[in-house]
Amino acid sequence: MPEITEITKESLSSMALSDSKVLPIGEDLGGELATSVENPPPSGELEGASIRSDEVQEIISAVPSWMIRWGITLIFGLIVMLISLSWFIKYPDIIFGNATLTTLEPPVKLVVKSSGKLTNILFSDGATIEKNQVIAEMENPVTQEGIEFLKDYVLAVRDYLTSPKNELPLATKKHVFGAMQTTFNDLQKNLKDLQELKQNNFSVQKINSLKSKIVQYKKLIVISSKQLSLLKEELKNAEEKYKADQQLYEKGYTAKMEFYKEETLLRQKQMDLENLNKVETEQQITLINLQQELNDAEFQYQENERTLTNNILANLLELENGIENWQQNYSFIAPISGKLVWIEKIHQNQFIESGKSLFAITTNNEKLIALVTIPAIGFGKIQTGQTARIKLNNYPSYEFGHLEGMVSKLTEIPNENSYQVEISLNNGMTSSYNKQLTFTPEMTGTAEIVTDDLRVMQRIFNQFNKLFDRDTNTNASVSSTLSK
């Protein structure tokens, strides 16, 4: 509804009075004005004349502007439109992280284990190498030739221990093995002792002699057993004859002296049987002693052989550990096959500090991935299959574009309050500007992971919830402080 301006009588009187004051001083107003001043009209006529003036009529009849008539409606419509837009408009969050570009099988770095001079460089930058090839050597008391000799010698000794028919390997060449020299000398001594033990005929002859004695004693015991059986038969016959003679003697058919003679023969047979039993028992005891002596001799021989063999195996294990330590501390050996990359420019006889990475070996696997470190805040929004953008430090994104990828794997356990995300590159090294970028190992950059869409209204309410939670926490802390 248009607004109506109320004009009071006082305002009209003041307007009329002001109109009379704007006339110039000294202007001849005529007789009519003088007459009106001397004889003013009645108050009713003055009010009617003022109301009917043009200015007042213009104010009364003026229509208010559209802003005044429709302003509230317009503002309400704008508010409704903004609320509707905040509900329908969605856009995703972007989680940022530090990215490192690598292959599915990451490159292997070779680190200096002990400080020293780089004495020998065998392969140049970019060379193709095979597994277990020596790349370079550090200054050390043992040469590569000596290490190779030790490797072959250890294998030869192990072959000898597994097959005694092989010839005993004894070192004829003289090498310097540094800290492994003492172990190598002990190995040589134990090998010589083992050789002497096996070539010493005394121990072997003693064992063989005892075995022969045992065989002969077993034969003697068999003979004694047969003699004992025969003697038992004779004793049985003698006892029967003695009984017959005894009956004849009692009846008086045999002389007394003849009977005593037969009794003496019987007692002699019994004594012979007891003596033969004694001999057989002594033979059994002797056989047992010979068997025990043979067991002791064989045990002593085997124990000496076992002791020397165990000492040799311990020496071999120490040498193998020494070779492994030498390779780790003083040489760079390729753990895998691939392409050799010099991490920095090096030269022969250069002093290298320990802990420094000199070389890296990259595999021929062409599948590239990006490993992204994400802080714990906001990590829960990331899911597999989400889109990611990789902006490399080597290639400015405004000139070369970015690499496009997809989240393929998430780690479940944090590392120092951060998580690692694996991103597979959809188009390899082809950027969003269709430019082919050159891959170098361990390229770094920034990753932008696009999460799920969220409505504008939801974001607004989230901010209110954040403020509410902050106020609640503040009030709680104040209350706890006051209670204390």
- Tell me how far apart the alpha carbons of residues 218 and 3 are, in angstroms, rounded to a whole number: 146
Residue 387 lies inside a defined structural domain of this protein: no
Give the range of the structural domain holding residue 37, as residue numbers without chain letter: 9-64
Which one of 95-99, 240-244, 265-269 scores highest in mean pLDDT? 95-99
Residue 305 lies inside a defined structural domain of this protein: yes
Neighbouring-strand partners of residue 351:
117
* pLDDT mean across residues, the chain: 76
Res. 13 pLDDT band, cuts 50 70 90: very low
**Nearest to 404, CA basis, from 376, 379, 437, 363:** 437
Domain boundary among 330, 354, 386: 330
Give the model's pLDDT for residue 1.
38
Res. 249 pLDDT band, cuts 50 70 90: low
- Tell me how far apart the alpha carbons of residues 104 and 441 are, in angstroms, rounded to a whole number: 11
Give the model's pLDDT for residue 445.
92
pTM for the structure as a whole: 0.47
| pLDDT tens digits, one per residue of 262-283 | 777 777 777 777 887 887 888 7
3-state secondary structure of 388: strand
3-state secondary structure of 3: coil
Does 311 lie in the same domain as 186? yes
Does 282 lie in the same domain as 165? yes
- Tell me how far apart the alpha carbons of residues 293 and 211 are, in angstroms, rounded to a whole number: 10
Averaged over 333-352, what is the pLDDT? 82
Does 55 lie in the same domain as 147? no
Checking if the pLDDT of 11 tops 80, the result is: no
**What is the largest distance, in Å, between two alpha-carbon atoms of the chain?**
226
Q: Are 15 and 56 in contact (CB under 8 A)?
A: yes
- Tell me how far apart the alpha carbons of residues 237 and 241 are, in angstroms, rounded to a whole number: 6
Q: For residues 122 and 40, which has the higher predicted lDDT (pLDDT)?
A: 122
Residue 231 lies inside a defined structural domain of this protein: yes
Give the model's pLDDT for residue 8.
43
CA 465 to chain CA centroid, nearest Å: 40
Averaged over 70-98, what is the pLDDT? 81
Give the model's pLDDT for residue 2.
39
Domain boundary among 284, 308, 330: 330
Distances (CA, A) of 127 to 10, 32, 404: 107, 123, 31
- Tell me how far apart the alpha carbons of residues 272 and 284 are, in angstroms, rounded to a whole number: 18
Residue 184 lies inside a defined structural domain of this protein: yes
Give the model's pLDDT for residue 46.
46
Domain boundary among 295, 311, 330: 330
Classify burial at 254, counting beta carbons within 10 Å of its beta carbon; exposed 0-12, middle 13-18, buried 19 or more.
Answer: middle
Q: Please, which residues have CB within 8 angstroms of residue 409's CB and are 6 or more apart in sequence?
A: 384, 421, 422
Residue 207 lies inside a defined structural domain of this protein: yes
Burial 71-104 (b: 16+ CB within 10 A, else e): eeeeeeeeeeeeeeeeeeeeeeeebebebbbbbe
**Nearest to 374, CA basis, from 446, 314, 291:** 446
Give the model's pLDDT for residue 15.
43
Averaged over 354-374, what is the pLDDT? 81
Structural domain total, the chain: 2
- Tell me how far apart the alpha carbons of residues 266 and 246 are, in angstroms, rounded to a whole number: 12
Distances (CA, A) of 292 to 203, 278, 316: 15, 21, 35
What is the percentage of the chain residues whose pLDDT exceeds 70?
A: 77
Tokens of 36: 């009106």
Averaged over 414-430, what is the pLDDT? 85
**Nearest to 187, CA basis, from 148, 161, 165, 164:** 161
Does 288 lie in the same domain as 176? yes
- Tell me how far apart the alpha carbons of residues 398 and 426 are, in angstroms, rounded to a whole number: 20
Checking if the pLDDT of 5 tops 70, the result is: no
Does 251 lie in the same domain as 159? yes
Does 294 lie in the same domain as 185? yes
Residue 371 lies inside a defined structural domain of this protein: no
Read out DSSP for 390-445?
EEESSS-HHHH--EEEEEEEE-SS-SSSEEEEEEEESSTTB-TTS-BPPP-TTEEE
Give the model's pLDDT for residue 130.
85
Averaged over 188-195, what is the pLDDT? 85
Does 148 lie in the same domain as 36? no
Give the model's pLDDT for residue 255.
67
The sheet carrying 357-362 orders its strands as: 108-111, 357-362, 338-342, 128-129
Q: Please, which residues have CB within 8 angstroms of residue 382's CB and are 6 or more apart in sequence?
A: 95, 374, 407, 410, 421, 449, 451
3-state secondary structure of 468: helix
Q: For residues 163 and 254, which has the higher predicted lDDT (pLDDT)?
A: 163
Does 242 lie in the same domain as 155? yes
**Nearest to 311, CA basis, from 161, 484, 134:** 161
Residue 173 lies inside a defined structural domain of this protein: yes
Residue 49 lies inside a defined structural domain of this protein: yes
* Side chain identity, residue 205: Q
- Tell me how far apart the alpha carbons of residues 444 and 101 are, in angstroms, rounded to a whole number: 6
271 membership: H or E segment, kind and range: helix 256-330
| pLDDT tens digits, one per residue of 375-411 | 888 788 888 888 898 999 989 888 898 899 999 888 8
User: Tokens 């990611």 map to which residue?
Assistant: 388
Does 39 lie in the same domain as 149? no
Give the model's pLDDT for residue 365.
63
